[in-house]
Chain A
Amino acid sequence: MTVNGVGVAFSVNGVAHRLEVGPGETLLHTLRERLRLTGTKEGCVEGECGACTVLVDDKPVDSCIFITAALEGRRVRTVEGLSGDGALGPLQQAFIDYGSTQCGFCTPGFLMTLTALLEENPSPSPSEVRQALDGNICRCTGYRQIIEAVASGIENGGRP
């Protein structure tokens, strides 16, 4: 089988990239293996667990089943983009404050889905938070602390 490279231009966390990728290469692979952005995690590799969630044009997608070549002209954001100048973003800090992370494997995915949610709806109800997280699985925390972390920001009158 011949594999033909595909040229594709897109941005990751505001940085423009022009890459030659395999036609079946997934965004998860591109991020971790080519761009060395290893914050995005590989769990199930079939769209079930959400550990690999990143934002494409502000929408959460499972990068393990997203073809990189389909990204022409699009914007990707990963967990690495949530912190700046060595400081954690507010949602990341809230996760620490509320014990919303234990082993941490699911955390980047949760943070990205919640980032998309809070951009779309700055004060979601607990049930809206739970629904937005349908596609993110955590085997450690039991979700309550995660929902509390989001609520903390709403109670503070803004983003966590």
Chain B
Amino acid sequence: MQFRRAQTLDEALDVLGELGKDARILAGGTDVVIQYLHGEIAPETLVHIEGIGDLATVSLNHRTTLGPLVTHRALATDEALGTAHPALAASARTVGGWQTQAVGTIGGNICNASPAADTAPPLLVADAHVTLASRRGKRRLALTDFFIDRRQTVMDPDEMLTAIDLDPLPAGAGEAYLKLGRRGAMEVALVGMAVRIGFAADGTVDSARIALCSVAPTPRRVPEAEEALIGSRLNASVLDAAGEALRAAACPIDDARASASYRMRTLRGLLERAAIQCREAVTL
């Protein structure tokens, strides 16, 4: 194995263009190093990108832009970012412990494409788009189209994630990220749910976005459940219908941490709790 340090984006793209799938990007390394130590990956070259300062920036505007090297710790503690993206900040606070958050990056979380990636649901409800760059050029696509399968994305071997852009929380809307685990910290989500709901002046729901992780091979939005909420006041029958739509969109697995049927049975309750948090976050 070789180790290459990229100081600039151009250097990184040159190495990726030259080596393609033999290269593996190393950001914070909290996924890569464990996979390497367990023998799950055997890259010929590690391309270390943490030194590319330009990729760690945050810009808050009508759309928020995050560099891929923004750490979970920054997402969890940056006040302005936390106000514009409360669910994203909440999700980052649930990633591992301080040690994981201090080095783990949002780009690594997305590119690793774990079914349980905690930052994915809050990004999905903020209509996040990703920019991928290579020596061949740049493309920008919706995060919903980025994930293909467990640990698989549309990224080509010579491409790199260079930016994530997303909608800040608009006025009159609230959002929440709920992560179900067996313990309060250092836990992989049994189910993760992000909800963003906008309310009209009379308190009815005028926009709704819901996204899940850990219940399918990829994190996903659930438009059918979103539609069930629109125009409602979040009464029980509406939540029942939306919960049913969530179950229809979920295909969780049984594993050592929880059964598929348990995960299914939590969806309605999580949605209700998240919806209440959204409602409580807005003053009409």
Chain A residues proximal to chain B, CB less than 8 Å: 1, 3-4, 6, 22-24, 26, 45-48, 50, 53, 56, 59-62, 65-67, 69-70, 72, 113, 116, 131-136
Contact = CB atoms under 8 A, between A and B. Distances in A.
Interface string B100-129: 101100000000000000000000000000
Contacts of B281: none
B103 A134 contact: no
A62 B100 contact: yes
A132 B98 contact: yes
Contacts of B37: 24, 26, 45-46, 65
A6 to B, nearest CB: 4
A67 B100 contact: no
A65 B98 contact: no
A70 B98 contact: no
Contacts of A1: 1, 42
10 contacts: A22-B1, A47-B30, A50-B97, A60-B102, A65-B33, A66-B103, A67-B26, A70-B26, A72-B5, A134-B185
A59 B3 contact: no
A149 to B, nearest CB: 18
Interface of B: 1-3, 5, 26, 29-30, 33-34, 36-37, 42, 46, 48, 50-51, 73, 96-100, 102-103, 185-186
Contact of A70 (B1, B50, B102, B186): B50
A136 B99 CA distance: 9
Contacts of A4: 1-3
Given A65-B33, A134-B186, 15 more contacts: A22-B1, A24-B46, A26-B33, A47-B34, A50-B99, A61-B99, A62-B99, A67-B33, A69-B46, A70-B26, A70-B50, A113-B98, A134-B185, A135-B96, A135-B98
B93 to A, nearest CB: 8
A45 B37 CA distance: 9
Contacts of A136: 97
Contacts of B2: 4, 23
A135 B3 contact: no
A67 B46 CA distance: 10
A47 B51 contact: no
B99 A23 contact: no
Contacts of B51: 72
Nearest to B183: A134
Interface centre among B5, B46, B97 (most CB of A within 10 A): B97
B130 to A, nearest CB: 24
Contacts of A22: 1
A67 B100 CA distance: 14
B25 to A, nearest CB: 12
A70 B33 CA distance: 12
Contacts of B34: 46-47, 65
A47 B96 contact: yes
A24 B99 contact: no
Contact of A66 (B29, B97, B98): B29
Contacts of B36: 24
Given A48-B186, A70-B29, A61 B103 contact: yes
Nearest to B1: A23
A115 B99 CA distance: 13
B56 to A, nearest CB: 13
A60 B29 contact: no
